Amino acid sequence: MRRLSSLAWRNLQARLLRSLLTAAGVALGVAVLFASLSASATMDAAVARAAADEMGHSALRVQALEERGLSAATVAVVTRASGVAVAAPALERQTYLAASLTASPSAKLPAPVTVLGIDPVAEPKLHDLPLSGGRLLTAADSSSAVITETLASQEGLRIGDSIALNGSGSGPASLAIVGIVTGDGSVPDAAGRLVIAPLSTAQTLFAVTGVTRVDLGTRPGVSADELMGQLEATIQTEPYLLEKTADTADSLRADTADFRGTLLLVAAVVLFAGAFLIFNTLSMTVTERSRDVGLLRAAGATRTQVMGLVLLQALVLGVAGSIVGVVAGIGLSSLTLSWVNSTGPISLDAPDISLGSVSLALLIGVLVTLAASLEPAWRAGRIPPVEALRRGPRGAVAGAARLRWLVLVFAVLAVAALAVWPSGASGGAGVSLGSGGQTLQFGILGPLAVYGLMLVAVLIVPPILGPLLWLAGIPLRVFRNEERLARSSLARDVSRTTLTAGALVMGLAMVVALGTAAQNIRQIGANWLTETIPGSELLTSIHSISPTDPSIEEIAALSGVKSVSPIGLLGVPLGGLRQEAAAISGADFAADGRLVFVEGGGDSATAFAALDTGGAVIVPRSLANGSNIRLGDTMSFATGETPTTLRVVGIVAHSIPAGSQEAILIGWTDAMGPFGASGADVFAIRFQPGQESTARPAVDATASQYALESADLGSVQGTVGDALDRVFRLLDAMALIAVLVAGLGMVNTLSMSVLERVREIGVLRATGMSSRQVWAMVVMEAGMLGFAGSLIGAAVGLLAGGLLVAWSSGGFGLTFDPPWVSIALAVVFGILISVTASIYPAGVASRQSIVRALQHE
């Protein structure tokens, strides 16, 4: 040995299993961390790519808010703006392929296609349209189309085939396919089913004269902001929205920020559990080697040299574990992304493995390891040289030291997490309800509070551990000696036992918290729909239908149908931004009795009547609180030369979910007047009491004839719930990794416990205890520890889950409904992990030679 530092390496080798298990614990924590960082980066990249695909090379987009689109006059004004070099107008509408509709009229409606009508000359200047075959459209084309590879593959179409599209005009329009673009195309909402046609052809097909948007390229030297200023001064005649590429990306990114934040919280918990493992391992090493350390000190080694030895061991474990963790994290990230599969309309590709994510994960892994090892290193340095003369190992770690260490590691992890916290519109952690994007947010305080609760839980473990162990031993009392010896072994080093249980507490708590949150948030989502939709069945259309359309009147006249309430979802300009709105029939909602008005939020009958009259709006509490809106205030909407002013006639606890917002509610008079709506895209069906089961089939059949998709509210709730479940199952799986890490810690602890009792076990065997009884004693020790840790973890998890639910319930007044079955399963899992962890140490203990054990020093 040329340097004292190589003693650190030898220590690690001497206890190879312990070193490997500890490095594995670090690796698991870093794997989850890297997976969350990589998934986050991948989602970010996907969003940026989608935004770039959507916006292409355009600097600015003028987006219509009204359904009828931007008028030709507005397009002309925009095109003539001095800063504009290229203006590419486009019309976007959904329809069905005529062939798919006629194929089976009574079957479920097929997936729609999106038709994008473009200017064939201007569009390619701002949007790349990479071809996989054929050609692009030209100015001479009128009955040609270009489709995406995805659509071609799904419908078996090739260049030269014809595609017939249902339109609003006189029957289907047939277009010849002249080209196929690669992939899904540049319209995310189309889900790859995109048909690109000349603008005039699309306008004729859908009997409109307006356009959905105009993408603009600027002249050299003109910035997007300058152009925005020019346009805001010139477009006065109708409502519109100006978007830059960054704005598009930001709004797409908003939903994913919440999921990413929650994933990061789980990663922090797993890393914290890993830190426990490090601390315990190094503490055991210091205890085991206290005489060697005393000798080194007696021989003249300084405290710094001794501390350095311990820190060096930690560094080796941390670096090795972090490297393995990053490699494992790549696989975990792939699994995560394939499980999540998409973020709303944007599909996710292979995981983003950037040098930044790798470096960050490695750095945090090593930092946490070093932070976790500081206290044992400090303690080793404090070992006095006289320790060299002691026969036995030193006593347990003091409680104050443990507290200092826990707080330090907690702080390091919290700072690291805050440094990498995903920025997003909400700036917090939460969950999106399905692809619709409704978001329930916990805020940054929520995760911090949960994390802090974990720390407190671990700190209170020592006083309650004893009674819990006694309790856990009750069913095992039939094995008198083994149970008593197991319990006394756990009491031998309270600090070590506490930290071993602590890791299990954290992992279990996280699993239970997520399960509790999932159950209750699912309920919140379901309640949200039940509280706001006046009916038990929904009919949806891909294009607007007038509330007085004969098809709707026909459905309303069916036997068993009480009412058909039209709901039109639209965007309105409020304060320069898009505000989601829902046009509703006040009379229908008044008759239905849904929508809860808040205290001081007006009278429902008066409010609904005012909506139908016009000039009125009902706002959700979230918007009222956020924008300081009160009953009686007026809200102004930029709907053209003359803004539209609506009086606030009601404030409701919750409103109809629309996109990532709660919609403001307006009457049909206003919707179809200044706001330019042409009809409803959702109809809520209320059935006569007791007649739903008989009336529904007729409603469904009639709806299908008119290309209305029917879904009962329960199945919509189910879809939302399934999307939530998918997300929470992933998070639970990650949290289970923390339990696995705790299991690794338990192997280490029990192995050390067996090592310390070699002679004692020899005496027990010599006085008649069988090897099976010795085996049982060790397994019982693990089982009791697992029981205590799991029980505490479940209790803490319930509390944490309650916190998350309270934070996100937004006043639904939900009765806290713990998922008892899941919690019981989690406790059983925790005990099983502990017992499994004991198998190897129990085997070692039971197989010891009695003679050698008695001679052991």
Partner 1 sequence: MVPNTPPAPSPSVADSSETAPARLARDASILEARDLTKVFRTGDRDVEVLRGISLKVRRGEFVAVMGPSGSGKSTLLQLLGGLDRPTSGEVILDGEVVSRLSDREATRLRREKTGFVFQFFNLIPLLDVYENVALPFTIAGEDPRRGETAARIKDVLEMVGLSGRERSRPDQLSAGEQQRVALARALAGSPALLLADEPTGNLDYATGGEILDQLWRSCDQRGQTIVLVTHDARAAAHADRVLVLGDGKIRDEIQLGRRTDRDARPLITRLAQLGL
Footprint on this chain of partner 1 (rule: CB under 8 A): 1-4, 7, 10-11, 13-14, 291-292, 295-303, 305, 384-386, 388-389, 391, 857
- 748, 573 contact by CB (below 8 A): no
Shortest Cβ distance from residue 385 to partner 1 (Å)? 5
Shortest Cβ distance from residue 288 to partner 1 (Å)? 11
Beta carbon nearer to partner 1, 296 or 361? 296
Shortest Cβ distance from residue 300 to partner 1 (Å)? 2
Beta carbon nearer to partner 1, 2 or 480? 2
Q: Tokens 């029990």 correspond to what residue?
A: 750
Shortest Cβ distance from residue 16 to partner 1 (Å)? 12
Beta carbon nearer to partner 1, 8 or 346? 8
Is the four-CA dihedral 827, 830, 834, 836 of positive or negative sign?
positive
CB burial readout 20-53, b (16+ within 10 A) else e: bbbbbbbbbbbbbbbbbbbbbbbbbebbbebbeb
Shortest Cβ distance from residue 26 to partner 1 (Å)? 23
Beta carbon nearer to partner 1, 52 or 388? 388
Contacts of 566 (CB under 8 A, 6+ apart): 545, 547, 552, 583, 584, 585, 668, 679, 680, 682, 683
Beta carbon nearer to partner 1, 18 or 213? 18
Beta carbon nearer to partner 1, 277 or 301? 301
Question: Distance between CA 400 and CA 388 in Å, rounded?
Answer: 25
Question: Distance between CA 297 and CA 577 in Å, rounded?
Answer: 70
Shortest Cβ distance from residue 351 to partner 1 (Å)? 42
Beta carbon nearer to partner 1, 1 or 140? 1
Shortest Cβ distance from residue 305 to partner 1 (Å)? 7
- 361, 41 contact by CB (below 8 A): no
Beta carbon nearer to partner 1, 556 or 854? 854
Beta carbon nearer to partner 1, 3 or 480? 3
Shortest Cβ distance from residue 292 to partner 1 (Å)? 5
Beta carbon nearer to partner 1, 383 or 736? 383
CB burial readout 268-297, b (16+ within 10 A) else e: bbbbbbbbbbbbbbbbbbbbbbbbbbbebb
Question: Distance between CA 109 and CA 157 in Å, rounded?
Answer: 20
Question: Distance between CA 567 and CA 544 in Å, rounded?
Answer: 10
Beta carbon nearer to partner 1, 219 or 303? 303
Residue (of 136, 180, 160, 154) closest to 99 by Cα position: 154
Beta carbon nearer to partner 1, 205 or 296? 296
To the nearest 10 degrees (0 to 180), the angle between helices 355-382 and 303-340 is 150
CA distances from 102 to 114, 153, 204, 851 (A): 18, 20, 22, 88
Shortest Cβ distance from residue 373 to partner 1 (Å)? 19
The length of the chain, given as a count of residues: 857
Beta carbon nearer to partner 1, 233 or 299? 299
What is the residue type of 64? A
Contacts of 418 (CB under 8 A, 6+ apart): none
- 263, 39 contact by CB (below 8 A): yes
Shortest Cβ distance from residue 11 to partner 1 (Å)? 7
Question: Distance between CA 562 and CA 708 in Å, rounded?
Answer: 18
Beta carbon nearer to partner 1, 13 or 628? 13
Shortest Cβ distance from residue 386 to partner 1 (Å)? 5
- 671, 586 contact by CB (below 8 A): no
Question: Distance between CA 488 and CA 470 in Å, rounded?
Answer: 10
Secondary structure of residue 825 in the 3-state scheme: helix
Secondary structure of residue 289 in the 3-state scheme: coil
Shortest Cβ distance from residue 370 to partner 1 (Å)? 23
Q: Tokens 């889900």 correspond to what residue?
A: 191
Q: What is the largest CA-CA distance in the chain?
A: 102
Strand partners, 665: 582, 618
Shortest Cβ distance from residue 277 to partner 1 (Å)? 23
Beta carbon nearer to partner 1, 300 or 689? 300
10 Å CB burial of residue 414 (0-12, 13-18, 19+) is: middle
CA distances from 520 to 389, 514, 728, 803 (A): 60, 10, 12, 11
Backbone φ and ψ for 765, nearest 5 degrees, come out as: -70, -40
